[in-house]
Amino acid sequence: MPKTPSSSSNPAARSWHGFLNRFSLLDDKADDTMIDESLRAGVELRGATPWILMFAIFVASIGLNVNSTAVIIGAMLISPLMGPIMGIGYGIGIYDFTLIRKSVGNLLIATLISLLTSTVYFALSPLTEAHSELLARTSPTIWDVLIALFGGFAGIIGVTRKEKTNVIPGVAIATALMPPLCTAGYGLANGNWAYFLGAFYLFSINCVYIAAAAVLVIGLLNPPHKQFVDPVMETRVKRVLFLVVVLTGLPSLYLAYRLVGNEVFHNKASQFVRQEFNFPKSHVVEIGITPKNKHVEVTLIGDRLSARTIDTIRTHLPATGLKGAILTVHQAGDDNIDINTLRDGIVKELSGNELALASRDQQIADLRRKVTWSAQSAQLTAELTAQYPDLTDILIGEGVGAAPPEEANGESADSAAAASTQTETAPETAPETAPVPILVAHSAKRLSRQDMARIEDWFRVRTQSKAARIAID
């Protein structure tokens, strides 16, 4: 009876199995006992851990307050919040409800400590403006869910390895557990409930999806775990967990949909204004776009557009994907025009024109100087050759003189220091370095000192520069 070819004798099968083995989570997995001890130890919130948490919250709050990304990242690296969240996922994965209760309790305590610490800081801080780093934590979307989920996968896989790597610090930075809590504290300190709810929702997303990722990976690794006596209860628990994950993520889908819709409306409105308000004697100085109300506000300077022209432009809104949008046009002479906006727009446009004109004038001046030098160099070369036929390889041009570090005329150190201080405190009054005319030539026979002095005097008179220099070898 012929033997069935085994996978070991099939090159394609061997290649496929070798490829799959590269993704095996069992090769470098740590011992189950070591994994259990590591995850349970991370749940603890005693001794130095609460102090580290409070100090990290202070650092993160300061970073958000001064809008420093580096400071915020540093705070996330020292944060101990990841331990209880991983403990919840591990406890669910092995059906250890004692560990789950302990992890949830420690996470709640850590959350309360973080909220209290950040609220106290922002209540006392004289800086009350909400910067970009803080605002970024107030509107979570589906992308934050994905970051938390994939970050949780990376985190739990890193914890279960024999060789510990920098995965956990990276996950702490990517998922950003601390900044949302600090932002929630900012909302409490300033009575801004929208900030508080948005930031706390982002923190909840991170907690739930990091724990969910831990549950899935622990299920794949299948460490020793407790079994339910009642299969019905086991099924019920799994359904509750699934429901929590889904309900936590659903609002983020709506927020993501709204964010994308607002961005699309903003881009279409900007393009619409650029295309429709392109008139030779009327210019757009300000565009106000409010996606929430589908409102596009345009401020114009120059010749007034007629009401008929504006009405015609409004009829083009549906064709550009702005159906239902409201277009408001402000022109010079309107009672409701924002004078400050108009003034700022005019100043901005005039400043841009002045800079462009100044740059163009400078380029013209440089070109004229080059043309003048070209003609003058040819004339000077002819005059010099007529007087000194032995001179060859004559080059005439301009250079920039550099002041020596120490004055040669014996000025005191105090005078030099005073001049340096004056230059540093008033750089706008420092004179520009003038170009220095330079003559370089080669002589077939050695010239006398009198001839060298005569040539230098002649060159200075002809170039009308006392700083002119010659170099003849």
**Average of per-residue pLDDT values in the chain:** 78
The stretches of 405-473 forming alpha helices (DSSP H) are 413-425, 449-463
Distance CA 213, CA 220 (A): 11
Question: Nearest-CA neighbor of 204 among 244, 255, 153?
Answer: 244
- Token pair of 465 as six digits: 């520069």
Higher pLDDT, 352 or 326: 326
Q: Where are the extended beta strands (E) located within 253-366?
A: 282-290, 295-302, 326-330
For the segment 57-74, what is each residue's pLDDT rounded down to a tens digit? 999 889 888 888 888 888
More confident of the two residues 415 and 387: 387
Q: Count other Cβ atoms within 10 Å, centred on residue 336.
A: 6
Place of tokens 């901005």: 348
In the structure encoding, which two tokens stand for residue 427, read together?
Answer: 């750089």
In tens, the pLDDT along 188-245 reads: 998 889 889 988 988 988 888 888 888 888 888 887 766 655 677 777 777 887 888 8
Q: What is the C-alpha separation between 42 and 91, in angstroms, rounded?
A: 12
Q: Which of 56, 55, 58, 77 is nearest to 66 (CA)?
A: 58
pTM for this structure?
Answer: 0.61
CA-to-CA distance for 99 and 84, rounded, in angstroms?
A: 10
- Nearest partner of 130 among 48, 67, 71, judged by Cα: 67
Beta strands in 303-342 (DSSP E): 326-330
Q: How many residues are listed for the chain in this entry? A: 473
Tokens coding 152? 């949780």
> What confidence tier does 140 reach under pLDDT thresholds 50, 70, 90?
confident
Q: Is a pLDDT exceeding 80 seen at residue 105?
A: yes
Instruction: Please indicate whether residue 380 or residue 84 has the higher confidence score (pLDDT).
Output: 84
Find tokens 């069935």 and name the residue: 4
